[in-house]
Amino acid sequence: MVLAEDLAKQQRSISIAEFFEKNKHLLGFDSPTRGIITTIKEAVDNALDACEESEVLPDIFVGIKRVDAEVYRITVEDNGPGIVPENVPLVFGKLLYGSRFHQIRQSRGQQGIGISAAVLYAQLTTGIPTLVVSRTGAKARAHRFELMIKTETNEPEIVSHEEIDWDRTHGTRIEIQFKSTLAAKKRLADYLRLTAIVNPHARITADIDGEVTTFERVSGEVPPCPKPILPHPHGIEFGALKRIAAASTGTVEEFLVGSFSRVGKKTADEMIALAKLKPSRKVNKLDADELKRLLEAMQAVKVPAPPAQQCLSPIGEDLICRGLEKEIQLDFVKARTRPSAVYGGHSFIIEAAIGYGGKVPPEGTAQLFRFANRVPLLYQQGACAITNCVSQVNWKGYGLSQQGLPMGPMLIMVHVASTNVPFTSESKDAVASIPEIEREIVLVLQELGRELKTYLYRRDKTKQQDNRARAICSIIPDIAAKVSEIVELPLVDTSPIEGKIMRKVVAKKRTVDGKVCIDVNNYTAKEVPLVLYNLSRDEAADAVPRPDFVDNMDGEYNKVWRRTLGAGEAWQIVYTGSGDGSVDLRGVEDNVKVVVDLDV
Amino acid sequence: MSREEMDALAKERLVGIARGWYDQMRDGVVPYIRLPTRTKRNLAYDDEGEVWKYGEKESTRAATNEKGAVHILKMAYLIGFLKQQLVENRSSTLRELYYISEGWKKAKFTAQDESNLLIEDLEIITDVQREAFHLRPEEDGASLFGPLRIRETTRRGVKEMHCQEDVGEAGYPIPNNVDNLDFVDHDAKFVIAIETGGMYARLMENGFDEEYGAILVHLKGQPARSTRRVLRRLNDSLNLPVVVFTDGDPWSYRIYASVAYGSIKSAHMSDILATPQAQFIGVQPSDISDYNLPADHLTEQDINALKAELTDPRFATDYWRTQINLQLDMKLKSEQQAFASRGLDFVTKEYLPKRLSEMGII
């Protein structure tokens, strides 16, 4: 029989730091390998957020260095606004300390847990304090801190603090050491690449154990920083309503108009009437029942969607395409930004892109890139609403095979931007299934699917035309030669056939008995200016006509002729040589050009 | 027609195809060629010759796309080669031809089948048999045994022999070119074509040829052209009825069909290859149940082949429809040697005499 008094001795409060020390997996520190990625992710998110807020183009350095058998030092340095010295210990040494938790707007970080959790993880595994250097501007000196977290109280412990000189005029540098492995190197590289894709305005330099990679920026514009908005009446819960009502001094009407977005006098009066309250009542005097009535009325009245333009910052179609193209070579890329939508009073915007061909591996299923508020999601792909939506789309209708995800050389990128991204857990790995969001994702993918279908159809058509052109230009002359030999008559001229079928500019190179002969025929109805390049080991000193320009490159001669060919005009170059090498025609659009090397 | 005349005709027809292409190109037309479509859907019964031939459907091969252009290029190279062969009076086999094409760059054959199909195309267009192009088949013809005296013009003089007295156990081997063969005289009442070597030997051992005056012809599976031509000539020039004795499965019915009606691939030569009067003895599906023969279950492929035969115009008779549907119901097939389960003499003493008298042959 245990007495309540005995139990009481064991009962005490726990601090948030202690809680997370025990439950590291909730924050994405479930394994040493993952710890490294989570830390870099949190630090880079903070750096990008800070740069966005201060409207500078981010220049971020990420370094990972092995310091002994199991310990790695992770360095992240940015050129952001810096942190004032009195706040540095709190930002890095206290969980749940942040600037964005109380604001309704799109940002990468939210709760103020991420980077302090990394500090906590470092002191758990190595006991080495975290080093932070920050400078707020040219007039101030830099401050150097060594920090730890007192887990029992969730308060920072400053191990050392000094002012130092630093060559950056403003920015922050953090160095964290913990036990880890570089097993997830590929995933880390993926994370950095994906981050570079959705932040085309950032330059990211990574030094991973001596391997340096730079992701160059392609956009010189800082994306507009989203501005906080007031809560939307449809997105508020009873507890929150009670809290802000208690803190308000005005009447119910003033309260509704002043504390919520999209509520004007007319809407407020409608709500008050529906809740059967007097508009003149002081809102902090309302009892629980009246507040409940008010909340129901607020949810029932139709209110326009929150001002998404203000609080959200989508990447935009053009920048998504440029971001993808700078990191991955593609034959086709199309992006779409949907108009903003709402779920439960929270604004969100879905953006997506499809890339096809190029250097994307053709085997297996499509590559899926998931993003939430410009942050790549690397884990739990199978549990994510985005993945689910991609599988729901019938890709067969767009000319692709499908096994859940579509198959083939394609990549699909989906970005969910919201003032409140519904994650499945605090580690922010996967987006939860919200019908409104899923509907938007499916719609945007279908739009892009149609675009891709059109592209594939055109591509196949072009392929057919090319195939036809190649047949005519390379095989018909062979048929002509053989047939003329059989019937013992002079070689039949096939150019009328070519002209009839092709309506293109055709360049043909053929070598017979030591004579290289390049024929160019303009079968189009227009005059065409063109440049002919012939790179081979032949010097072509006796070429007729003479090349306009010859360039000797290590025993290979690049011969260039410039010429304008009238409609239907033919032109021939002849010189003595072996006819190796290549021939190319420039200045002519691809769809009206055929170049055939009959010596190959 | 003498050999020289035949060579001249073959060469003239081949060069004629090339001439057609030359003229097309000279007139600014993309070279093309028309051919009857070579599928079973395009088989039509020719009342006059009582054989199945290609119908009206034609396909055009033109150099307007890469595939068509390559096809015509290959044909041109082939014509060039055959013309040369005729000029130099050489000959080659289909397999050699396939290897010769190795040096033809873009016109190289990708597989043996391709050269075979092209040769058949040329036969169809020129209306000349491949033997006239000096192409020899790879396989020898099969053999025959029976009361027949033949005269063969060989490269080493004329040989005359009797196909029972002057030949060994294997019988007389049918040469590739049946044009060199004359039938001197015979003492036969009918010809029986047999699918398997085992049954051919059984009939020989049991003296079936002597007892009934039968010429035994071994088909060796799907019969070579020369074998089919010999059957046709025995039927035509000696007025001997021809019966076909095969296993009781869908593939064997096709062997019978190619003897009696001509094959899908060589329907253009049905006039000389097919023997429309040839009758099918068995093994019939009904024999399997009537004689309670040892049988195997039909495989998936067998069932599909039987179903395909139901849509084949050559099998569009009440007799075949009944038999094939019966077999599909039983789901069984038997080999001709299954009669051995009732004793080695059963097939020659009971089964064949009964069937032959039913058919009015004896």
- The CATH number linked to A85 is 3.30.565.10
Angle, nearest 10°, between helix axes A435-470 and B66-88? 30
| Residues of B catalogued as catalytic | 99
Let me know whether A163 and A54 are in one domain: yes
Q: Do the Cβ atoms of B28 and A496 come within 8 Å?
A: yes
**What stretches of A393-527 show up as alpha helix (H) in DSSP?**
435-470, 476-487, 495-502
Subunit contact B28:A464, Cβ cutoff 8 A: no
Contact list in B for residue A490 (CB cut-off 8 A) is none
> Could you tell me if A54 and A171 lie in one domain?
yes
Query: Which ranges of chain A have pLDDT less than 50?
Result: none
**Closest CA in chain A for residue B74:** A479
Phi (first) and psi of residue A535, to 5 degrees: -105, 115
Amino acid B245: pLDDT: 95
Give the number of A-B residue pairs with CB atoms closer than 8 Å. 81
Burial (CB count within 10 angstroms: exposed 0-12, middle 13-18, buried 19+), residue B3: exposed
Assess whether A32 and A165 both reside in one domain.
yes
pLDDT tens-digit profile of A424-469?
877 778 888 888 888 889 999 998 999 888 888 888 887 777 777 7
Residue B215 to residue B197: CA distance in whole angstroms: 15
Neighbours of A536 (CB within 10 A): 21
Pick from A124, A150, A185: which residue ends a domain?
A185
The conformation of residue A138, written as its DSSP 8-state character, comes to T
Task: Look at A464 and B107 and tell me if their CB atoms are within 8 Å.
Answer: no
- Whether residue A262 is contained in a domain is answered as yes
**What's the confidence (pLDDT) of residue A594?**
78
A486 neighbourhood in chain B, CB within 8 Å: 15, 18, 76, 79-80, 83
Q: At what angle do helices A288-300 and A265-274 cross, to 10 degrees?
A: 120
Decide the pairing of beta strands B332-333 and A142-150.
Answer: unpaired
For residue B29, the chain A residues in CB contact (below 8 A) are 497
Which of A256, A286, A260, A259 has its CA nearest to residue A272?
Answer: A256
* Residue in A with minimal Cα distance to B19: A487
What pLDDT does B325 receive? 93
Which residues have a Cβ under 8 Å from the Cβ of A41 and sit 6 or more positions away?
A28, A114, A191, A375
The reply to whether A45 and A81 lie within a common domain is yes
Q: Do the annotations mark residue A563 as ligand-binding?
A: no
CATH of the domain at A400: 3.30.230.10
Instruction: Please check if A526 is assigned to a binding site.
Output: no
Question: pLDDT value at position B204?
Answer: 92
- The CB density around residue A181, as the number of other CB atoms within 10 Å, is 14
Beta bridge partners of A402: A406
From first to last of its 362 residues, chain B has per-residue pLDDT tens of 667 788 888 888 999 999 999 988 888 788 888 888 877 777 777 777 667 778 888 888 888 777 888 889 999 999 999 999 988 888 888 888 888 888 888 888 888 778 888 888 888 888 888 888 888 776 666 888 999 999 988 778 888 999 988 888 889 998 877 877 889 988 899 999 999 989 999 999 999 999 999 999 999 888 888 888 899 999 988 999 999 999 999 999 999 988 988 777 777 788 888 888 889 998 999 999 999 999 999 999 999 999 998 888 888 889 999 999 999 999 999 999 999 999 999 999 999 999 999 888 88
Three-state secondary-structure class, residue B280:
strand
Please indicate, yes or no, whether residues A172 and A49 belong to a single structural domain of this protein: yes
Residue A178 lies in a domain: yes
pLDDT at position A1:
64
**Does the annotation flag A439 for ligand binding?**
no
Q: Do B63 and A479 touch (CB under 8 A)?
A: yes
Establish if A202 belongs to a structural domain. Answer: no
Shortest distance between the Cα of A109 and any Cα of chain B, in A, equals 58
Phi, psi of A216 (to 5 degrees): -75, 150
How high is the pLDDT of residue A112?
Answer: 62
Number of domains into which chain A is organized = 4
Distance from CA of A457 to the nearest CA of B (A): 18
DSSP for A292-345 reads: HHHHHHHHHS--PPP-HHHH-----HHHHHHHHHHHS--SEEEEEEPPPEEETT
Residues of A in contact with B18 (CB under 8 A): 483, 486-487
**Least CB–CB distance from A486: residue in B18, B29, B73:** B18
Does residue A581 belong to any structural domain of this protein?
Answer: yes
Examine the domain organization and report whether A293 and A331 are in the same domain: no
Domain boundary pick from A285, A300, A315: A300
Residue of B66, B76, B80 lying closest to A471 (CB–CB): B66
pLDDT at B1: 65
Residue A56 and residue A167 share a domain = yes
Cβ–Cβ of B30/A475 closer than 8 Å?
no
**A517 and A448 housed in the same domain:** no
The beta-carbon neighbor of B80 closest among A468, A475, A482 is: A482
Spatial distance between the Cα atoms of A34 and A24, rounded to a whole number of angstroms: 11
Q: Are residues A124 and A22 part of one domain?
A: yes
Closest CA to B20 of A478, A145, A32, A479: A479
Tell which residue, B226, B237, B328, B236, has the closest CA to residue B277. Answer: B236
| Domain containing residue A285: CATH number | 1.10.8.50
Confirm whether A67 is domain-assigned.
yes
Residue A316 lies in a domain: no
Residue A329 assigned to a binding site = no
Asked if residue A291 belongs to a domain, the reply is yes
Domain boundary among A185, A213, A244: A185
Question: Is there a single domain that holds both residue A394 and residue A291?
Answer: no
Q: Indicate the residue of B66, B67, B76 with minimum beta-carbon distance to A479.
A: B76
Nearest CA in chain A to B72: A479
* Residue A271 counted as domain residue: yes
Identity (one letter) of the amino acid at B358? E
Shared-domain flag, residues A428 and A508: no
Query: Inter-chain contact A472–B31, Cβ cutoff 8 Å?
Result: no
Q: Measured between beta carbons, which residues in chain A are less than 8 angstroms from residue B76?
A: 479, 482-483, 486
Identify the contact set of chain A against chain B, taking CB-CB distances under 8 A.
Answer: 464, 467-468, 470-472, 474-476, 478-480, 482-487, 489, 492-494, 496-497, 500-501
Distance in angstroms (rounded) separating the CA atoms of residues A239 and A515: 91
Q: Contacts for A215-221 with beta carbons within 8 Å, 24 or more apart? A: A215/A327, A216/A326, A217/A57, A218/A319, A218/A322, A218/A323, A218/A326, A219/A319, A219/A322, A220/A57
Quick one: A127 and A177 in the same domain?
Answer: yes
Q: What does pTM read for this prediction? A: 0.56
**How close, in Å, is residue A501 to chain B by CA atoms?**
8
Evaluate the CA torsion angle A21, A22, A28, A30 in order and state its sign.
Answer: positive
Q: For residue A127, what are the domain limits?
A: 16-185
Indicate the residue of B29, B30, B79 with minimum beta-carbon distance to A486: B79
- Compute the nearest-CA separation of A493 from chain B (Å): 7
